[in-house]
Structure 1
Amino acid sequence: KDMYISGGENVYPTELEGVLYRHPAVFQCAVIGVPDPRWGEVGMACVTLRPGATATEDELIAFLRENLAAYKVPKQARILEALPLSGMGKILKRDLKAQILAEM
């Protein structure tokens, strides 16, 4: 259910998020599919950083490139102040995607 298709390839965000959580600066993350004219959809990694940690969007993409097949690597990363959470603390990807699409 939580999958997007990029250039005909199925991409499962949970796999990408598992890699992102191994980065020492990442506190929370979610990968969503966003529209792309060439590939249909591409990944966007949305990340919050640990207090006091620093990382750039380019560093996060490079980290993913080192650990994933090229077609799975999100085309963009965004470092956000916070991700939308449910009362139980679960990341609300639908709300996150709506927020990102409204900004595009």
Structure 2
Amino acid sequence: MERIESLSVATLDAIILRIRHCSIALQFLDPYNFINYSKEKDEFISNDIKEQERLYQMHMNEILHLLEIDDIEERNHHFSIIKYSMSDKPFHILYEIIENSMLYHKN
């Protein structure tokens, strides 16, 4: 809890920006967006999809690093929170991460 309370405004802004980037990458990675693509089109964008996956992973790692979450089990827990969040608003997702981090450390 103390580590979250001690985050600066600049750090929170950096986290929110990275959450936005993750949201964009996830929309791009949704397989339903490409369900009607021909094989040629699918092959054409496959490199872009791989790059989005790499960027998504990088931003997720940066978010958790900025939140000073180093425990592997906790990192995996927060990965799923961001990835499967029902919200598309970065502030809501950040709130979910903070709330879940507090609950995670309570147990």
Give the TM-score normalised by structure 1.
0.34
Structure with bigger RCO (C-alpha 8 Å, 6+ apart): 2
- The structure number with the bigger radius of gyration is 2
- Of Structure 1 and Structure 2, the greater strand share is in 1
- Of Structure 1 and Structure 2, the greater helix share is in 2
